[in-house]
């Protein structure tokens, strides 16, 4: 389809523009690429410079093609950008060896050619030997060695981009693609994933790993400031010679205080060219105190089940090993494995049962009541666990899932209530059996075996499908087989289904009525309800038609309120900014799901990297999700859990906010000047209050009276640090780092009311 013929493809020359991305020097000449020619379909000839694209549509590169006249198109397409590259570009840098092509993000996969020669590829196409892997949210930074002669200076060049879109938005989006010259230092990157970080009580030390991705040795010096954002000043300056070989790496030992607001501001200057690159490292700091050696029972203390359904409940408990578990008042039909601390069996008749949990060790005992509510409600507290998508994308397989389950226990996360192990997209076989039964593909040779593996460990097993013919990753969906698939899931021992709209969207009327939105979920909801086991139903349709108002009506237990999250502050904050709309609809068994957690190492099936959220952004992320009573589903490579991420995920007082049995979400009670205060009523009569500083600097705020719950005299407890703060006075000032949070409990806990 041709949209316009009048707009020639424009490439703008911008002088001294600011450049994106870390590790680059401002003040360099950039050529902006705001437009491209576009056509759907696929043909290798389109890579060639001489190909005739004069009849193609002219699109902006700043938004998906769906928004520019190609609604609902999934599959192959090509962009072609014609650009004159002036030789003067080379004069704008000191090392004119590499052309830098920044192509922003391309949804989902791309292969990029310059003048007919492939110069970059991100993600995997469906016909790749490894199978399809989307990298819709990766930034594309491609470098072209000018010595290859590929760049036509002072002449026309054609950048041709072959795109494959699996579902949803497709093609270029995000920000301005640009061309410019790289400096010799641009290949230098801080690799925090492989840096060794050690935490002492008040300081941290790290051997930071720097990687040079360019084939040229770098010699120079590294300057760094230890900047204290709380004090607003540089605490210390250090400078040392620093070199790193061609395509090699080097370590740099650093030490800094371990507390909020510490930034290490690096500047590497290369001797020969004088070019410099700057990197800011937000130093991690641990807030959750070390686990007590005394026994402690953690996690959800209210469990919903339907009569006769299988029950699995792992007592989440910490304390110095060995721990001895006991359960009193166990209803008939349930049994208890005292070694594993797992209650299992069949749920008794409808009613409320109060089980006496006890955990002992040499230092003492802990006792708590588990309320088993047998009726028609599941997921009485938000599901907590792990989902494969953000780590492995479509590359998930059974061995990885088993390893994650082992890690869930070995890291101690299960002892804090993390129990679901959910496979996302990518497990389905290419075709159904002759009788229509769905089966798993060769990556999952034995679903019932995997299910037993998880259940024996007291973990729960989740799976994924779509109401359409295909899932978002183009595997088989459940259309016309809803009941059959639900039967299969029950046979396999599935405890949780994520049901993702994907291709069903194209079957819906152009202007869907509410009933059209509900129909596919109603169908699967009924099919799950007919099973002889409890399967938590998680709706994924990105919040369409205000699903929070009707998700419960179609038997949903949770529903996504947003599109997909990414490990960027932009994405996380965008999600945060819409959650006040759905929050009031939260109640036990009916949870808003602002998407999975982006902490730890994530990668969506591509190279894993540590979350790009700063430590403070991660504290805000977990705090807000807990205030919202959101499902807490990790999406990281759990077999490589670093100390910071583990510490972030084992805070029982923060988790208790998420799992609070009253099941009310926080309200956004105050929103001014980039400050937000969220207030959640807790079952014990206290309020959990998150004071978020969404500004760009460390700031202080006088909090008394800003919301009714913050009245002078109120008792305050810092939940991350697990210690009381001085009672609130009219002058109480709290300091919160940029994008960070102070999460407190306000008031005095009344009579314990677990399960109320
Ligand atoms: C998306 C969904 C993601 C993931 C993916 C799998 O639509 O929002 O969470 O499930 O599909 O293909």
CATH 3.90.1170.50 fits 296-374, yes or no: no
The β-bridge relationship of strands 699-702 and 687-693 is unpaired
Alpha-carbon distance 274 to 271, whole Å?
Answer: 5
634 CA distance to ligand 1 middle (Å):
14
**How confident is the model over 243-265, as a mean pLDDT?**
97
Please state the separation of Cα 271 from the chain's center in Å: 40
Q: Which of 74, 500, 616, 658 is catalytic?
A: 500
**3-state SS record for 137-172:** CCCCEEEEEHHHCCCCECEEEEEEEEEEECCCCCEE
- Reply yes or no on domain 667-746 having CATH 3.40.50.300: no
CATH topology of 18-182 equal to that of 296-374?
Answer: no
pLDDT score, position 756: 36
Task: Return the residue whose CA atom lies nearest to atom 5 of ligand 1.
Answer: 472
CA 259 distance to own-chain centroid:
25
Contact 535, 496 (CB under 8 A): yes
* Segment 166-210, tens digit of pLDDT: 888 999 999 999 999 999 999 999 999 889 999 999 999 999 999
Report the topology of domain 384-658: TIM Barrel (3.20.20)
Return d(Cα 303, Cα 661) in angstroms, integer. Answer: 10
CA distance linking residue 359 with residue 328, whole number of Å: 11
Q: What is the DSSP string of 100-130?
A: EEE--EEESEEEEEETTEEEEEESB-TTSTT
> What is the 8-class DSSP label of residue 507?
G
Q: Which residues pair with 223 in a beta bridge?
A: 239, 267
287 lines ligand 1 (CB under 6 A): no
Q: In degrees, to the nearest 5, what angle opens at C-alpha 625 toward C-alphas 624 and 628?
A: 85
Q: Is the CB of 593 under 6 A from ligand 1?
A: no
Sorting pLDDT into bands at 50, 70 and 90, what band is 268? Answer: very high
The per-residue pLDDT for 4 is 30
Confidence of residue 26 (pLDDT cuts 50, 70, 90): low
Q: Answer whether 564 contacts ligand 1 (Cβ < 6 A).
A: yes
Q: What letter does residue 720 receive in the DSSP assignment?
A: T
Ligand 1 close to Cβ of residue 540 (< 6 A): yes
Strands 609-610 and 601-602: antiparallel
Architecture of domain 18-182: Sandwich (2.60)
Phi, psi of 523 (to 5 degrees): -65, -50
Q: Which CATH architecture has domain 186-278?
A: Sandwich (2.60)
Instruction: Please compute the mean of the pLDDT values over residues 115-142 and round it to a whole number.
Output: 91
Q: How far is the CA of 138 from the centre of ligand 1 (A)?
A: 16
Report the range of poorest mean pLDDT among 135-139, 159-163, 369-373. 135-139
For a substitution probing ligand 1, which of 389, 465, 502, 598 has the most ligand atoms within 8 Å of its CB?
389
Which mutation among 470, 471, 472 tests ligand 1's pocket best, with the greatest number of atoms within 8 A of CB? Answer: 472
Ligand 1 in contact with 500 (CB < 6 A)? Answer: yes
What is the chain's alpha carbon radius of gyration, rounded to the nearest angstrom?
Answer: 27
The minimum-distance atom of ligand 1 relative to the CA of 540 is 8
Q: 438-450 pLDDT, tens per residue?
A: 999 999 999 999 9
Handedness of CA 20, 24, 27, 29 (dihedral sign): negative
Ligand 1 atom nearest 134 alpha carbon: 12
What is the Cα–Cα distance from 486 to 529, expressed in whole angstroms?
Answer: 9
The overall pTM is greater than 0.85: yes
Catalytic (active site) residue 500:
yes
Ligand 1 atom, smallest distance to 595 CA: 9
Q: Tell me which of 170, 422, 425 to substitute to probe ligand 1's pocket, judged by most ligand atoms within 8 Å of the beta carbon.
A: 425
From 397, 425, 564, 652, the catalytic residue:
564
Contact (Cβ atoms closer than 8 angstroms) between residue 281 and residue 256: no
Of 463, 507, 460, nearest to 485 by C-alpha is 463
* 637-678 pLDDT per residue, tens: 999 999 999 999 999 999 999 999 999 999 999 999 999 999
Q: Report the share of the chain in percent with pLDDT over 70.
A: 96
| Protein residue with least CA distance to atom 8, ligand 1 | 564
| Any ligand 1 atom below 6 A from CB of 388 | no
Domain boundaries, given as residue ranges, for the chain = 18-182, 186-278, 296-374, 384-658, 667-746
Is the predicted pLDDT of residue 27 greater than 90, yes or no?
A: no
Q: Distance, CA 137 to ligand 1 centroid (Å)?
A: 13
516 an active-site residue? no
CA 468/CA 150 separation, integer angstroms: 44
């Amino acid at each position: 389809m041709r949209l316009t013929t009048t707009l020639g493809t424009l490439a703008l020359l911008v002088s001294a523009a600011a450049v994106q991305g870390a590790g680059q020097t401002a003040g360099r000449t950039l050529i902006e690429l705001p437009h491209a020619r576009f056509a759907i379909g696929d043909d290798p000839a389109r890579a060639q410079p001489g190909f005739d694209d004069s009849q193609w549509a002219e699109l902006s590169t700043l938004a998906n093609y769906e928004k520019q006249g190609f609604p609902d198109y999934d599959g192959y397409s090509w962009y072609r950008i014609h650009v004159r590259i002036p030789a003067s570009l080379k004069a704008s840098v000191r090392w004119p060896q590499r052309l830098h092509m920044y192509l922003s993000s391309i949804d989902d996969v791309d292969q990029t050619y310059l003048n007919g020669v492939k110069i970059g590829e991100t993600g995997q196409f469906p016909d790749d030997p490894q199978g399809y892997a989307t990298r819709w949210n990766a930034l594309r930074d491609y470098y072209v060695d000018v010595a290859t002669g590929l760049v036509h200076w002072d002449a026309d060049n054609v950048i041709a981009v072959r795109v494959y879109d699996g579902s949803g938005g497709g093609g270029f989006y995000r920000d301005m693609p640009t061309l410019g010259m790289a400096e010799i230092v641009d290949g230098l990157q801080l690799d925090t994933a492989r840096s060794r970080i050690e935490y002492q009580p008040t300081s941290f030390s790290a051997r930071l790993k720097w990687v040079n991705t360019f084939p040229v040795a770098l010699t120079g010096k590294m300057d760094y400031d230890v900047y204290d954002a709380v004090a607003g000043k540089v605490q210390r300056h250090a400078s040392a010679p620093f070199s790193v070989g061609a395509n090699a790496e080097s370590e740099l030992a650093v030490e800094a205080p371990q507390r909020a607001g510490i930034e290490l501001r690096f500047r590497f200057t290369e001797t020969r060219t004088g070019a410099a690159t700057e990197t800011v490292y937000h130093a991690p700091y641990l807030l959750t105190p070390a686990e007590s050696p005394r026994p402690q029972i953690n996690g959800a203390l209210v469990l919903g089940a339907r009569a006769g359904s299988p029950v699995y409940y792992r007592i989440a408990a910490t304390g110095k090993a060995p721990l001895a578990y006991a359960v009193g008042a166990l209803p008939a039909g349930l049994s208890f494995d005292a070694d594993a601390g797992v209650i299992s069996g069949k749920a008794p008749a409808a009613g409320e049962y109060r089980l006496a949990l006890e955990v002992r060790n040499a230092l003492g005992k802990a006792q708590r009541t588990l309320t088993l509510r047998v009726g028609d409600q599941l997921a009485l507290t938000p599901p907590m666990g792990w989902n494969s998508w953000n780590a492995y994308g479509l590359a998930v397989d059974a061995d990885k899932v088993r390893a994650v389950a082992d890690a869930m226990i070995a890291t101690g996360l299960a002892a804090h209530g993390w129990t679901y192990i959910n496979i996302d997209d990518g497990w389905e076989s290419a075709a159904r059996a002759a009788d229509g039964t769905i089966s798993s593909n060769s990556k999952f040779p034995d679903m019932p075996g995997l299910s037993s593996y998880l259940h024996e460990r007291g973990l729960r097993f989740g799976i994924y499908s779509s109401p359409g013919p295909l899932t978002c990753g183009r595997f088989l969906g459940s259309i016309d087989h809803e009941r059959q698939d639900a039967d299969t899931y029950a046979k396999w021992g599935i405890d949780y289904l994520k049901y993702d709209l994907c291709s069903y969207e194209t079957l819906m009327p152009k202007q869907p009525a509410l009933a059209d939105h509900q129909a596919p979920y109603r169908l699967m909801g009924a099919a799950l309800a007919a099973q002889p086991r409890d399967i938590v139903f998680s709706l994924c349709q990105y919040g369409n038609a205000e699903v929070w108002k009707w998700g419960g009506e179609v038997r949903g237990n949770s529903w996504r309120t947003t599109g997909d999250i990414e490990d960027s502050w932009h994405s996380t904050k965008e999600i945060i900014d819409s959650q006040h709309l759905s929050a009031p609809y939260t109640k036990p068994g009916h949870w808003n799901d602002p998407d999975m957690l982006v902490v730890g190492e994530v990668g969506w099936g591509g190279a894993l990297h540590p979350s790009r959220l700063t430590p403070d952004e991660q504290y805000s992320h977990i705090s807000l999700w807990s205030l919202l009573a959101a499902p807490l589903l990790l999406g990281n490579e759990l077999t490589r859990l670093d100390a910071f991420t583990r510490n972030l995920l084992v805070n029982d007082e923060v988790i208790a906010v998420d799992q609070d049995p009253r099941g009310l979400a926080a309200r956004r009670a105050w929103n001014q000047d980039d400050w937000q205060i969220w207030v959640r009523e807790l079952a014990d009569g206290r309020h959990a209050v998150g004071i978020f500083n969404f500004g760009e600097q460390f700031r202080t705020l006088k909090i008394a009276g800003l919301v009714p719950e913050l009245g002078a005299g109120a008792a305050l407890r810092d939940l991350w640090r697990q210690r009381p703060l001085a009672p609130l006075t009219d002058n109480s000032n709290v300091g919160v780092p940029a994008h960070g949070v102070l999460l407190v409990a306000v008031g005095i806990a009344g009579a314990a009311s677990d399960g109320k």
